[in-house]
Amino acid sequence: MMFAAQIFCDFSGYSDIAIGCARLLGFRLQENFNNPYAARSLMDFWRRWHISLSTWFRDYVYIPLGGNRLSATRTEINVLTVFLLSGLWHGANWTFLFWGGIHGLGIQLEKMLARVFRQRQVIRRPAVSIFLWLLTLVLVLLAWVPFRSADIGQTMQYWSAMFTPADTPSQPVAIKAMALLLLFILVSALGSAKERCKALSIATRNVETSLYFLLILMLPGAGTDFIYFQF
């Protein structure tokens, strides 16, 4: 959970620094993140996360492979190929390939389910929209585990620990963990709320910023290098 917050604040933060510096020099750079944890599907997540890289893979890999202009099977292969290559772009490690495969296969499953539920007009209901947001958030968080792990074995250990009852932590640790979890969910929910109701945009901006500062203050440890500098 906290790695998800860390990697977003890390990468989105220095992307915003670059955008701001470029603006001072009279250049307008493309926005690179757009409330990714407010996404209601994995495809929606990739329209919001690392937009510059997603756009590059779309223009120089997906479309040259045929995009969605060919058969349904070939389109599915193209999508999976893009995400596997995206994983390898981050590093020559099975964990990154695994991470890319999770997103690629997840998007294929989303498309299959969307064709069924759209016919029933269920997907537009507010309760369903909230459920899809929570489901997408959980899937993205689970997929970050192999991205963060050193190898597949460590990934399985982390996943096992996430779903295995453990010894009760000390009360201060438990309270801090729950507070961090709540703050992370609130930040994500505010991003989603701003999109659903434009009138909330200005009203929630200061609150959202304050929550990010609280997250930064509560995270332990000294400052480290930007995570994405290694890619």
Contacts of 92 (CB under 8 A, 6+ apart): none
* Residue 81 lies inside a defined structural domain of this protein: yes
pLDDT band for position 144 (cuts 50, 70, 90): very high
Tell me the DSSP string of 154-205: HHHHHHHHHTS--PPPPHHHHHHHHHHHHHHHHHHHHHHHHHH-TTHHHHHH
Among residues 155, 179, 204, which one ends one of the domains?
155
CA 199 to chain centre: 25
Write out the two tokens for 170: 């000390």
* C-alpha distances out from residue 30 to 33, 53, 55, 215, Å: 9, 11, 11, 26
Higher pLDDT, 179 or 56: 56
Is the same domain home to 44 and 144?
A: yes
Mean pLDDT on 5-23: 87
Contacts of 83 (CB under 8 A, 6+ apart): 100, 101, 103, 104, 107
Is the same domain home to 139 and 180?
A: no
- Residue 50 annotated as catalytic: no
pLDDT at 204: 63
Mean pLDDT on 109-120: 75
Is the same domain home to 73 and 116?
A: yes
* Residue 107 lies inside a defined structural domain of this protein: yes
The answer to whether residue 12 scores a pLDDT higher than 70 is: yes
Three-point CA angle 154, 138, 132, nearest 5°: 155
pLDDT at 112: 85
**Active-site residue, selected from the candidate residues 56, 74, 90, 110:** 90
Is the same domain home to 198 and 120?
A: no
pLDDT at 201: 58
The residue type of 2 is M
The answer to whether residue 119 scores a pLDDT higher than 60 is: no
Three-point CA angle 221, 134, 129, nearest 5°: 145
Q: Which of 121-125, 148-152, 181-185 has the lowest mean pLDDT?
A: 121-125
- The count of domains in the chain is 2
Average pLDDT along the chain: 81
Q: Which of 33-37, 106-110, 111-115, 125-129 has the lowest mean pLDDT?
A: 125-129
To the nearest whole percent, how much of the chain has pLDDT over 70?
A: 67
pLDDT at 113: 82
Please tell me the distance from the alpha carbon of residue 31 to that of residue 140, in angstroms, as a whole number.
Answer: 21
Is the same domain home to 209 and 111?
A: no
Write out the two tokens for 65: 């492979």
Would you say the pTM of this structure is higher than 0.75?
Answer: yes
**How many CB atoms within 10 Å of residue 113?**
11
Please tell me the distance from the alpha carbon of residue 95 to that of residue 84, in angstroms, as a whole number.
Answer: 11
Is the same domain home to 151 and 42?
A: yes
Is the same domain home to 135 and 108?
A: yes
Is the same domain home to 65 and 126?
A: yes
pLDDT at 63: 94
Please tell me the distance from the alpha carbon of residue 11 to that of residue 214, in angstroms, as a whole number.
Answer: 18
Higher pLDDT, 205 or 42: 42
User: For residue 172, what are the domain limits?
Assistant: 168-222
Is the same domain home to 84 and 44?
A: yes
Cβ contact 6:227 at 8 Å = yes
pLDDT band for position 155 (cuts 50, 70, 90): very high
pLDDT band for position 126 (cuts 50, 70, 90): confident
The answer to whether residue 202 scores a pLDDT higher than 60 is: no
The residue type of 193 is A
Is the same domain home to 114 and 141?
A: yes
The answer to whether residue 172 scores a pLDDT higher than 80 is: no
pLDDT at 10: 84
> What ranges make up the beta strands (E) of the chain?
none
Residue pLDDT, tens place only, 96-107: 999 999 999 999
Instruction: Single out the residue of 145, 132, 148 nearest to residue 38, CA to CA.
Output: 132
Among residues 128, 155, 182, which one ends one of the domains?
155
